[in-house]
Structure 1
C-alpha cells in the first residue's frame, strides 16, 4: 500500500530567475502581439474594477457635496496615478509582470535579461503614451519586429519574454 504524504505548511512558489535570457533563435521566446493584447485586457479589467469601486465611493461623495468642476480632472489624475503605479510597481517587482502578464506567462525584463528598476518601469509606462499617440503604431510594431518590441519597449530598452 503506497504511503500518503503528510501534510505540512504550504510551500511558496520559487522566486523568479533574473538571468533569464531570451532565446537567440527565431524569437520564439518573446511575447508576441496577441498574447500581449490578452494580458493587457486582463489588466484593463482589473484596473476597471478598481476604478469603478473608487468612482462609486468618490462619485457618491461628489454628488452629496453638490459637485465641483475640478472633480473630473481629479478623477483623471487619480486614474493616471493608479495605472502608473500598477504597471511600474508590478513590472519592477520580483515577478516582473502585471497580473495579466503573469496569467499568460510573460515577464518584462531589460534588454540584458535583468529585472526592471522602478524608474525603468516608469519610463516604459509613460513611453506607451507615445506609442498610442502615433495612431497606436508603436504597439502594432510588436507584431513586426524581430524581438517583438513596441516603440515603448525600444525607448525603455525592455523585452517581454515568455516564461512558460
Structure 2
C-alpha cells in the first residue's frame, strides 16, 4: 500500500478550516474581480433596491393644458378668499344708497397692507416654498401634477422657483401667448418653462 507524500499528509499541529463560500463575481482563484470601466453601468450582484435617483416619483407624461389651468384656478382660490376676509375685517364700511340700502367696503390704509401682505405670504408659501421643495403647489397636488427640472424628477429648489415665478410675467405680456403655448408645444411648455428649463409632469 503506497503512502501519500509527506507534503500531502495533514499535520496534527495544523488546524483545518472550513471553506467559506465565495462572493458573487469572485475569480476562480478566489481573488477580486477587476473594477468596472469608468462610466459603465453598475451592477449590484446581491440584488436589492437600486439607489434613489432624485425625487422618488415616477413620471407619466407631460401635464395637459387643462390640468395646468385647473391647478392655477385652485391655487388662486385661497388668495381670493384671503383678500375678501382681510377686506371684511380691516376694511372701512361704506353705506351706499342706490335702489336700496347696501353696504360695501373700502380698502385703504391698514386694509391695503393686510390684503396685499397676506396675499404675498400666500404666494411665497405656495409658489416658492412649497413648489420649490416638493415640485407641487396646492393646486398641483390636487390634480396630480408637478414641476421638475427638465428630464428629471428633482424639485426645482427655492432659487429657481423664484425665477420661474417672475418669469411667468413674460407669459402674459404678449396677449397671454405664453400661457397658450402648451396647447401646441410638444413638451407642453410655457415661456417660463423654456427660460427656466422646467417641465410640468403627470405623476399619477
- What's the secondary structure of 1:160's corresponding residue? strand
What residue number does 1:37 align with?
A: 69
Name the TM-score, length of structure 1 as normaliser.
0.71
TM-score, normalised to structure 2, is: 0.58
8 Å CA contact retained: 2:147, 2:198: yes
More helix by share: 1
SS at match of 1:92: helix
Deviation, structure 1 residue 77: 6.3
Report the structure, 1 or 2, having the larger strand content: 2
Partner of residue 11, structure 1? none
SS in 2 for 1:107: strand
Point out where structure 1 has 5 or more consecutive residues left out of the alignment.
Answer: 1-16, 24-28
In structure 1, distance between residues paired with 2:141 and 2:107: 40
Q: Does 1:98 align with 2:137?
A: yes
Structure showing greater Rg: 2
Distance in 2 separating the partners of 1:32 and 1:100: 14
- Number of corresponding residues: 138
Deviations 1:37-84 (A, max 9, x none): 1111111112211232223233259xxxx9856965874465345324
- After superposition, the Cα gap between the structure-2 partners of 1:60 and 1:85, relative to the gap in structure 1 and judged at 3 Å, is farther
CA distance in structure 2 between the aligned counterparts of 1:112 and 1:19, rounded to whole angstroms? 14
Give 2:191's aligned residue. 151
SS in 1 for 2:156: coil
C-alpha change, 1:73 and 1:49, in structure 2 (3 Å) is closer
Matches within 5 A, 1:73-112: 75-76=115-116, 79-80=119-120, 82-93=122-133, 95-112=134-151
CA contact (8 A) 2:90 2:111 kept: no
Q: Quick one: higher RCO (CA 8 Å, sep 6+), 1 or 2? A: 1
1:21–1:112 contact (8 Å) kept in structure 2: no
